Amino acid sequence: MSTVIFRKGLDLKDAVAATLAKDYHSAIVDDLIGHGFRRVRGRLTIHLAREFGFCYGVDRAVDYAYQTRKRFPDRTVYLTGEIIHNPHVNDNLRAAGIRFLSDAGEPREPLGAQAVIILPAFGVTVHALAAYDRLGCTLVDTTCGSVLNVWKNVKRYAQDGYTALIHGKVRHEETLATASQVLKYPGGRYLVVLNRDQASRVCSYIERGGDRDAFLAEFRDMASEGFDPDRDLRHIGLANQTTMLMSESLNIGEMFRQAMCARFGEAALGDHFRAFDTICTATQDRQDAVETLLDRETLDLMIVVGGYNSSNTRNLAKICAARLQTYHVADADALRSASEIRHRLIDAPSGGAGQEVAGSGWLPAAGTVRIGLTAGASTPNNIIGQVVQRLERFAAVADGA
């Protein structure tokens, strides 16, 4: 059986363009952009960050999924899991007849060589890709170019005997896929750290050593099999999940550079420490844009729109929450009334809709209101437009208009 792989679309971009526009376009968002990313209706002014919503990689992945359904109308089309972290987009694909292997009741592996498998923007593990290849499935690979860039660097680390130190969420699809790339090489090693606290403990071990068993107990589920901190922290190369908070990734990188320098000396640093820029430009652009918005405008509150399991959306919310009252909402339905809102707590642990809580008194009842707005890279324009409509309606109601 021979596997057919599509990595550059299926030559049906024009054929699905109208459907994509119908499902995800927003005239309201066009109006915001056309008026300097600002919209005034009555007492309400909305300021939209200049980089927001679908990034190139997400737009490409969704486009390829629609093309796949069009190209293979009579074959079973599967997605390995969510194509992106947005429930509306994923539900649209289910409605189009695309089956999700991650859904309850679906097979753990697709059945038969006639299956068409869409690989999501996050990529898949080396093990999963090998399984699909053995089945001779047709593959449509939508893996984002920024993710591929991270893979290139961690593979280079493994080839040269360096442990890949990955700043990311160990159970996130992208981090799982990135870590698996390291294991393609004999002796390949990885360690995943979530935040500065975990990074600090690893740095302390690098500099001063410590209780090996305690280290392994803490990081057992975050490290490659057979990981030995006394051996595998002598040569490290940094990488990150592309959707992490840029400032945190940079800070963690500097922590490890200083730790390796303290352990081995400045002169020998190049033999023990490597770092390449693997921060996604789209993630960085959205974070920079919201910082600029907060610097330039005086706002009463900030609304961040996107899936609750979207890492890049949660990080946008964290940036905003450090400056002013911020609500991370999944969609317009989260805005229940002029007084009630359903939102995700900014510092809640990773999770889905179960992280949503109720809030009240979120919208000032009278006077001018200035709201900042942005959206994660997996949020389509139509969802953003619906949020704007809801904001305008509730602002008018609260003011008695």
- Catalytic residue list contains 174: yes
Could you give the angle at the alpha carbon of 256 between the alpha carbons of 250 and 257, nearest 5°?
Answer: 85
pLDDT (tens place) for every residue of the chain, 401 residues total: 568 899 999 999 999 999 999 999 999 999 999 999 999 999 999 999 999 999 999 999 999 999 999 999 999 999 999 999 999 999 999 999 999 999 998 887 667 888 999 999 999 999 999 988 888 899 999 999 999 999 999 999 999 999 999 999 999 999 999 999 999 999 999 999 999 999 999 999 999 999 999 999 999 999 999 999 999 999 999 999 999 998 999 999 999 999 999 999 999 999 999 997 777 889 999 999 999 999 999 999 999 999 999 999 999 999 999 999 999 999 999 999 999 999 999 987 765 445 799 999 999 999 999 999 999 999 999 999 999 999 999 999 866 65
List where CATH 3.40.1010.20 sits in the chain: 24-55+282-398, 146-279
Q: For the domain 146-279, what is the CATH code? A: 3.40.1010.20
Q: What pLDDT score does 401 carry?
A: 58
Q: What pLDDT score does 351 carry?
A: 52
* DSSP-derived secondary structure for 225-280: TT--HHHHTSSEEEEE-TTS-HHHHHHHHHHHHHHHHHHH-GGGHHHHEEE-----
In sequence order, the 6+-apart residues with CB closer than 8 A to the CB of 267 are none
Contact 374, 304 (CB under 8 A): yes
For residues 125, 127, 129, 130, the Cα torsion angle rounded to the nearest 10 degrees is: 160
Of 93, 239, 226, the residue nearest 153 (C-alpha): 239
Return d(Cα 401, Cα 389) in angstroms, integer. 15
Q: What pLDDT score does 350 carry?
A: 63
Q: What pLDDT score does 353 carry?
A: 46
pTM, entire model:
0.92
Of 260, 114, 126, 119, the residue nearest 182 (C-alpha): 126
When the candidates are 3.40.50.2300, 3.40.630.40, 3.40.50.11270, 3.30.1360.70, the CATH number that belongs to 57-142 is 3.40.50.11270
Q: What pLDDT score does 111 carry?
A: 73
Choosing from 51, 82, 173, 174, the catalytic residue is 174
Identity at 88, one-letter amino acid code:
H
Yes or no: domain 24-55+282-398 corresponds to CATH 3.20.20.70: no
List where CATH 3.40.50.11270 sits in the chain: 57-142
